[in-house]
Amino acid sequence: MSNIYGVTPKGLVIKRFDEIMNDLHDSLSDGWGVNTRHNPKSYLNVQLTAYADKIAELWELGEQIYQSMYPFSAEGASLDNAVQFGGVAREDPRPTFYPIHCECIEGTTIPRGTRIRSNTNPAIEFIASADTRITRSAFNQVKIRAAVVISSEIYTIALDGDLFQYTSSAAATEEEILTGLSAEITSDTLFATVADGLLFLGAVDAQRTHVLVLGSNLTTESVTGIVNFASEEHGEISLPHNTITQIVTAVPGLLSVVNLIPYIAGRLLETDVGLRRSYTDKIFIRSNRMLESIKSAILRNVQGIISVAGFQNDTNITDAYGRWPHSIEMVVEGGSDYEIAMQIWDKKAAGINTFGTIEVIIPGDEGEPIPIRFNRPERVFTWFHISLYMNPAEILPPNYVEAIKAIIVGAMTSAEVAPGTPIIPQRLIEGRIYLNIPGIGHIDIRTFHTTDPNQPPGAFVAGMVPISPRQLAVTDETRIEVVLSG
């Protein structure tokens, strides 16, 4: 076999049907001493055509086998098999998780499988993912009343270990006791009000829970805890706050439900394109480089992740971005705060501090509180103005506008665009358009960017879109304009 076919230094090169026919005719013509091509309708030519066709099918089968061995050319089940060599698997479909504020009589257990639904049309149902008991030791909101009203009595509330007391007067009333306690409570993380004969305590941060201890002369009217509910269907299901309010499964002691905090996005079964895109990042789970290992662990183990970037300051002084000496900063879009923090804690080296505005307290090996910090990227909304000049030697397809918008959105959501990645249109987009859209002679790309999602575009300019390490460039089809200039 000639060394120009088969597995070559340039990859696999297969023989086409016409080349196989020529080889067969050359061999027979040389052996018999006659030109076997003389009569295209001869019995011999019919036979050679049938043989050549089967040989061509074998070449095509060999090409399929060859391509199925590599993640960036395999498809379907072959792609699943190929990525397993790197310890990677296709992401299964997952539901969307909503942390729901459940107001209950204290001690109520919300069993796994409890159903609630949204008040939207159509209604979307959610299912409790585990048994959860609502108690004052993990509350987000609580209503307190006086169990007994006694004159000159000390009423005590402890919040996260901080003690607050009020001594009732000689002519004590329940309103006076609760109002006095409310005035005594000073906290940056909780607020207190009195209404309808009850002392209401609520967390400033709707995502945090607190610990409450009451004296024997106080009791709870109701306690609101946070319970995770999973959507009945897989995929990302986005609903506004205060829309999941209906109880489907009657649970004794469950008074009301509502969604007040962001959800953890679900996903459909990962596509071939998505798996190829994430494969490179995920294989760094075995990396000796700490940042790459953390990034890979977050991508692999945390649901709803869109993008991850990592930065470090290995000097002895605070750097220009405010990072502490010998610290790392992870900038993560999507996912649960707690799950992200756990992956950072699991993969970071001992003695390395974490930097960021989001702080999650996780238990250490001995149960001690460990603060893990990271940042969420600020979104930079990017507008594109694409001017096309036609190539007279080719025909521009009729759907060129939709195709170009899809190419740009795909490029902006690819693994190439992470937090801190500047957008260079000529490098990121221009080549993709030329490769996939015929009939284009020249492309002029101009951009406009802003951090305000409601700001209309101003003057479009050529060149790079600068992105800081704590920013992420995003776009959508409504921010892309394609015009034909010539």
Residue type, 114: T
In 3D space, the residue among 437, 455, 457 whose CA is nearest the CA of residue 447 turns out to be 457
Q: Hunting for tokens 């080296």 — which residue is that?
A: 349
Instruction: Give the contacts of 204 (CB within 8 A, at least 6 positions apart).
Output: 188, 189, 190, 191
In 3D space, the residue among 480, 270, 451, 286 whose CA is nearest the CA of residue 388 turns out to be 480
The 10s digit of each residue's pLDDT in 143-200 is 999 999 999 999 999 998 889 999 999 888 999 999 999 999 988 889 999 998 899 9
The Cα 336–Cα 96 span in angstroms is 12
Class of residue 3 by CB neighbours under 10 A (exposed 0-12, middle 13-18, buried 19+): exposed
Token pair in block for residue 280: 């490179």
The 10s digit of each residue's pLDDT in 227-285 is 989 999 888 888 999 999 999 999 999 999 999 988 877 778 888 877 777 776 666 55
Bond prior to 122 in cis (omega within 30° of 0):
yes
Residue 267's pLDDT is 78
Residue-level pLDDT, tens digit, the chain, 486 residues: 456 888 887 778 888 898 888 888 888 888 888 888 877 778 888 888 899 899 999 988 988 888 888 777 788 888 888 887 767 778 778 888 898 999 999 999 999 999 999 999 999 999 998 888 999 988 999 999 999 999 999 999 999 888 999 999 988 899 999 999 999 998 888 999 999 889 999 998 888 888 999 999 999 999 999 998 999 988 888 899 999 999 999 999 999 999 998 887 777 888 887 777 777 666 655 555 778 889 888 988 888 888 888 999 989 899 989 999 999 999 998 888 888 998 998 888 878 899 999 988 876 655 567 889 999 999 999 999 999 998 888 888 888 999 999 999 988 987 788 888 999 999 999 989 998 899 999 999 999 999 998 899 999 999 999 999 899 999 999 999 999 886
Instruction: Give the contacts of 170 (CB within 8 A, at least 6 positions apart).
Output: 151, 152
What's the Rg (C-alpha) of the chain? 32
The Cα 162–Cα 142 span in angstroms is 17
Query: H or E stretch including 9?
Result: none
Distance of CA 383 to the CA centre of its chain: 22
Q: Where are the domains of the chain?
A: 6-67, 95-259, 287-374, 378-484
Asked if 99 contacts 261 with a C-beta cutoff of 8 angstroms, the reply is yes
Residue 366's pLDDT is 55
Asked if 123 contacts 239 with a C-beta cutoff of 8 angstroms, the reply is no
Between strands 378-390 and 480-484, the pairing is parallel
Token pair in block for residue 163: 């003690």
Query: H or E stretch including 47?
Result: helix 43-67
Three-class secondary structure of residue 194 per DSSP: strand
Query: H or E stretch including 167?
Result: strand 162-167
Query: H or E stretch including 413?
Result: none
